[in-house]
Amino acid sequence: MSSEDVPGAQQAALAQVEEIEAQLGEKPLAVAATSGVKRSGLATFLWAAPATLWLCVFLLAPVVMIVLVSLWTRDTNGFKAWSWTLDNYRTFWNSEVFRTALQRTFQRAVFVCLLSLVIGYPIAYFLAQIKSLRTQIALFILVLAPFWTAYLIRVIAWSPVLGQNGAINYVAGKLGFGPFDFLLYSDFAVNLTLVQLYVLFMVTPVFFQLAAIDSSAVEAAKDLGASPYKVFREVILPLSLPGIMIGFIFIFVLVMGDFATVRVIGGSTVDSVGNEVNVYYNNVDLPTAAAGASVLVVAMMVGVIILLKFAKIRDSVSVVAPAKERHRTLDAIGKWLLTGLLAVLGLYTLYSSWRTLLELALGIAVVTAVLAGLYVILGRKLQRVLGVFFCGFLVLMYGPTLLMTLLSFQGSRGLTAFPTSGIFSTYWYDILINDSTQQALRDAIVVSLKLSALVCIITAVLSLMLGMAFRERFRGSTAIFYLVLLSLMTPGLLLSLGTTLLTSYLGRDVSLYTTALGVQVVWALPFGFLVMLTVFNRYDARAEEAARDLGASAIRTFREVTLPIVWVGVFGAALFGFTLAWNEFERTYLVTGPVSTLPTELYNVMTASVFQPYIFALGVLTTLFSFVLIALFLVVSGLAVRRARAKAIVQDDDAETMSMSMAPAPTAGD
Amino acid sequence: MSTPSAAPEVTAPASGDGSGLVLKDVYRVFPGNITAVENANLHVENGEYVTLLGPSGCGKTTTLRMIGGHDEPSSGTISLDGQVLNGVEPSKRPVTTVFQHFALFPHRSVLQNVAFGLKMRGIDKAEREKTAGDAIDMVGLGTMKQRKPRELSSGQQQRVALARVLVTRPKAILLDEPFGDLDRLLQLRMRVELRALQRDLGITFIHVTHNQEEALSMSDRIVVMNDGLIQQTGTPTELARFPKNVFVARFMGDNNTVRGPIESVDGDTITIRGPHVAARVKGTGTVGDEAAMTVRASTVEVVQGAPAVSEPNTALARLNFAEYLGDSVKLHLEVAGEPFTAKVAETRYAEMRDIESGDVTVRWNVEDGHVLEL
């Protein structure tokens, strides 16, 4: 066949093509192929049931309980079930203290959201722009690591920074200012701490959104004439908007429910909804406490609805049914209405407290000024500017902890103030480990260890099972997925309060290994589940098909094929389980029974007495412990990846050697 | 028709007026001393369809990116119609790129995607939507203006990517493996459509691919690259009939190469003793020197049975597999352990099937082979 025949052959091919296409029709890209052994509905049910049941008992039921109890009448023993009344709502609506607390809490939530956006977005952008995957992951872990330290410890660490005798005042004093006594025990301090605690919830989703943007789309935009600013506004910002929304929702709901941070940092001068709820609870006025908590439930539900409808999470998770595209105009109207409503509410609350508005404006101005200044100084290289900003961010995240470490090595005359007194000494570590006054703390450590170990195992098993269930879409998978997401978003107070109400109703007691275990697993499960989802996403189910083909039973296939491949994920889920349980406070707070875990014991110490530097020693040790665990996980998974890659390279080499000895001319169409 | 004894020397098109796209002595060296493109010299006339062809890692995509402005040469100049493009941003160059996976904006509708370039130029909404709408109609997607990219098939997405580029009226369009994401049926169809579109518009198209069949069917000229170097530039017929060296001969496919020392010189022919067969071909050289030649599979005769005489351009071969291609038969043979290919008429399929695993004789004429550079 000579080349003159080419056009003729093409025409023939074209005719054939058109005929076949007419029969096939062109298919949209969105149709995904499922592979793997076909599973029975029963098998899926069995995989998903345990985790779902657990979540229903320790997540759904407590929340439902709160709403119910809020409508029941008060009783000497707590509440009178099934005796309906609206009195509780009237009580707290009439309480000026509560209304103020609500307003303040709402302001705080909005403030933290906005400031987290201003600080978190540049950080996420910086991370997303990093070229080397290794560096990117390393820095991302660096940002995320504080999350694994005890939440309370991070809170505690702020006091030597902000306190009247703290670092800032020390420096200010040397420069001739202050002391500023509004730093600690004030709204400002609380807000700052909250930003530090929750900014991660903004960085993470935004980072993932940005990283998912097709870089060639950015190049195409440049090609078509877009300036860097236009590229950002027209391509990058719209595509990262879902991430921002997710961040807002999580931060908003969680800050609404935060009471421990407020209490420890703000002392008695700063109030919160959670705190008020606790007050009523301590007075054994359960129904009113529940009514107060219901406000948080409402906030949470609104958050979930927004997430459901607008945050496009469904599009990025393939096992969930895609959002239906109908009613576009209705959706758009609804979206604008809701956003408008929230904006108005937010602005009103901010306006009604001019001080918060001022602080917010100040915060944003400072950040912008810093960025702009750096931009000019460093010669207009955006990545460099963001790099410096990133370092500043790390100072914010790790600074208090480092200071705490420094202070933990003070001599016996040391105070929780700055500067350090005495020379380097392990005095306080000694007190911590040996002194009889700290026995309660040491006991709490043991309790925490045991409980966390249990949570670790259960989380690993439940995550694995749920992950197995979610390998394909099934009826109810969307609902269960949102249930898991709900667990991430539920303020801890709701869970602990709700669980005590539930046990009270059932006539039982709270105890460490029932209720505390229950709520801690609820907290750890979403993380373990997400890890398993990621692992299964890369998992080629055809390996199982091949095994079955060769005669293996379902059980053997699971043991010999599936498990060895996904064990890294299981290990990760286990690690999450342990560290999250180890650090958990808000959910565990009311449901441990007579025993204390380490975090609850810490809280008691913090709020009851003036603490001493042995707290810092404790903080250092527990943080170190968490970091060791993270490092362990990284080493193990790194080794696993490297081994797999080495194997793949060997296989690649073999394949290459084979193909080189065959016919050299590549055939058409490869 | 007599075939010339050597490939005609392929030079740049005759016009010396500085028009068209010119690459002069272009190098691209990456950190770590990795030379991706070496000494590239190329002149593309306005309105030509040129394909950069080669295996993965040969430098074709790097070259394309340098033309488009997404990468800068380490040395050398790139100019279009006399205007030097080095250092000029992509948005300011009169060339636009269609990316491999289309790079559509997922959050914008088809219409908004196509109108993007116009929006960046500050054209008001009514006018740019009209222009964009026309371009969308031209590529045959008129009813899908409001759809989002994920609601389109690959073929449709590609047409949107094309429309988006066309709307900016570039002087040249660069396409980076445009058919990579399409299934085979669609590929065949899009070749015809794309070529027709280019002819209608009269714009220069520069197309990158690793598929030599695609290059042959669509291009005015093909630039074959390997290891960063341009191996040969020529029309499809020139490359198919007169590949310059062993690499091009093998890459274009359906070529049998013979390489070895020159056994004898006889007038204007030389005989090369390859590892599997002796090949006599028109050319010059000294006995003992290394030389290479190639003969196209379609010019090789195949008859049943062993050869009667032992002479150059004839060999005993074993037929391993007769591949039915629908309109011809490709024979996968083995000569003294080396692979060998021949193509015969479709009507001989039954005959060839019967001979499979048996012996045949392959032979070709002296004029059908030609000498390769080493």
Rounded to whole angstroms, the Cα distance separating B266 from B277 reads 18
How many Å from the N-terminal Cα to the C-terminal Cα in chain B? 28
Strand segments, DSSP code E, in chain B are 21-30, 34-44, 49-53, 75-80, 83-84, 95-98, 172-176, 204-209, 221-226, 229-234, 255-266, 269-273, 278-282, 290-296, 301-304, 314-324, 328-335, 338-345, 359-363, 369-372
Query: In this predicted structure, which of A444-448, B220-224, B229-233 has the lowest mean pLDDT?
Result: A444-448
Q: What are the phi and psi torsion angles at A598 (to 5°)? A: -55, -50
- List chain A residues with pLDDT less than 50: 1-6, 25-36, 318-323, 326, 658-670
| pLDDT at residue B11, rounded to an integer | 40
Closest chain B residue to A663 measured between Cα atoms?
B339
Chain A contact for B9 (CB, 8 A cutoff): no
Rounded to whole angstroms, the Cα distance separating A318 from A538 reads 13
- Secondary structure (3-state) at A480: helix
Distance from CA of B145 to the nearest CA of A (A): 16
Residues with Cβ < 8 Å from A156, sequence gap 6 or more? A264, A404, A602, A606, A611, A615, A616, A619
CA angle A227, A232, A238 (to 5 degrees): 140
Does B103 contact A667 at a Cβ distance shorter than 8 Å?
Answer: no
Does A221 contact B191 at a Cβ distance shorter than 8 Å?
Answer: no
- Secondary structure (3-state) at B292: strand
The three state secondary structure string of A32-46 is CCCCCCCCCHHHHHH
Instruction: Summarize the confidence of residues B4-20 as an average pLDDT.
Output: 51
Q: What H or E segment, with its residue span, contains residue A250? A: helix A237-257
Does B253 contact A668 at a Cβ distance shorter than 8 Å?
Answer: yes
Beta-ladder partners of A97: none
Chain A residues closer than 8 Å to B89 by CB: 222
B43: left (phi over 0), alpha (psi -120 to 50) or beta: beta
Q: Please state at what angle helix A328-352 crosses helix A286-310, rounded to 10 degrees.
A: 130
Distance from CA of A23 to the nearest CA of B (A): 13
Which range in A181-185, A580-584, B23-27, B86-90 is most confidently predicted, on average pLDDT? Answer: B23-27
Residue from A215, A224, A236, A324 whose CB has the most chain B CBs within 10 Å, to mutate: A224
Closest chain A residue to B189 measured between Cα atoms?
A14
Q: Dihedral of the CA atoms A494, A497, A503, A509 (nearest 10)? A: 140
Closest chain A residue to B93 measured between Cα atoms?
A223
Q: What are the phi and psi torsion angles at B91 (to 5°)? A: -65, -20
Q: What are the phi and psi torsion angles at A215 (to 5°)? A: -65, -25
Chain A contact for B24 (CB, 8 A cutoff): no
User: Under a CB-based contact definition with an 8 Å cutoff, are residues B283 and B6 in contact?
Assistant: yes
| pLDDT at residue B204, rounded to an integer | 95
pLDDT exceeds 50 at position B23: yes
Q: What H or E segment, with its residue span, contains residue B211? A: none
Chain A contact for B256 (CB, 8 A cutoff): no
Tokens of A273: 């909804």
Chain A residues closer than 8 Å to B156 by CB: 26
Rounded to whole angstroms, the Cα distance separating A574 from A567 reads 10
| pLDDT at residue A668, rounded to an integer | 37
Instruction: Summarize the confidence of residues B149-156 as an average pLDDT.
Output: 87
Chain A residues with at least one Cβ partner in B under 8 Å: 1-3, 6, 9-10, 12-14, 17-18, 20-21, 26-30, 214, 216-217, 219-227, 230, 234-235, 238-239, 662-670
Choose the closest CB to B343 out of A1, A27, A668: A1
Residue with structure tokens 């015969």? B344
Say which amino acid occupies A293.
A
Q: What are the phi and psi torsion angles at A651 (to 5°)? A: -65, -40
How many Å from the N-terminal Cα to the C-terminal Cα in chain A? 20
| pLDDT at residue B265, rounded to an integer | 92
| pLDDT at residue A669, rounded to an integer | 35
Distance from CA of B267 to the nearest CA of A (A): 30
Instruction: Summarize the confidence of residues B97-115 as an average pLDDT.
Output: 89
Our measurement of the distance from residue A485's CA atom to the centroid of its chain's CA atoms, rounded to an integer in Å, reads 10
User: Taking the CB of residue A538, how many other CB atoms lie within 10 A of it?
Assistant: 9
pLDDT exceeds 90 at position B173: yes
| pLDDT at residue A320, rounded to an integer | 47
Chain A contact for B213 (CB, 8 A cutoff): yes
Choose the closest CB to A665 out of B154, B216, B250: B250
Does A224 contact B70 at a Cβ distance shorter than 8 Å?
Answer: no
- Secondary structure (3-state) at A393: helix
Distance from CA of B250 to the nearest CA of A (A): 5
| pLDDT at residue B76, rounded to an integer | 94
Chain B residues closer than 8 Å to A662 by CB: 339
Q: What are the phi and psi torsion angles at B307 (to 5°)? A: -70, 145
| Mean pLDDT over each residue of chain B, to the nearest integer | 89
Rounded to whole angstroms, the Cα distance separating A513 from A410 reads 38
Q: pTM surpassing 0.90?
A: no
Tokens of A19: 């005929």
Residue from B120, B199, B239, B330 whose CB has the most chain A CBs within 10 Å, to mutate: B120
Does A226 contact B120 at a Cβ distance shorter than 8 Å?
Answer: yes
User: Under a CB-based contact definition with an 8 Å cutoff, are residues B272 and B292 in contact?
Assistant: yes
Q: What are the phi and psi torsion angles at B51 (to 5°)? A: -115, 135
Does B343 contact A14 at a Cβ distance shorter than 8 Å?
Answer: no
B/e letters for A258-276, b = 16+ CB within 10 Å, e = fewer, are bbbbbbbbbeeebbbbbbb
Examine residue A564 and say whether the peptide bond preceding it is cis (omega within 30 degrees of 0): no
Choose the closest CB to A667 out of B121, B151, B253: B253
Chain B residues closer than 8 Å to A1 by CB: 298, 327-328, 343
Choose the closest CB to A20 out of B185, B213, B240: B185
Does B153 contact A26 at a Cβ distance shorter than 8 Å?
Answer: yes
Tokens of A648: 């793949």
| pLDDT at residue A579, rounded to an integer | 84
Tokens of B204: 């220069």
Rounded to whole angstroms, the Cα distance separating A265 from A302 reads 28
Residues 303-322 of B with CB under 8 A from A: none
Does B332 contact A663 at a Cβ distance shorter than 8 Å?
Answer: yes
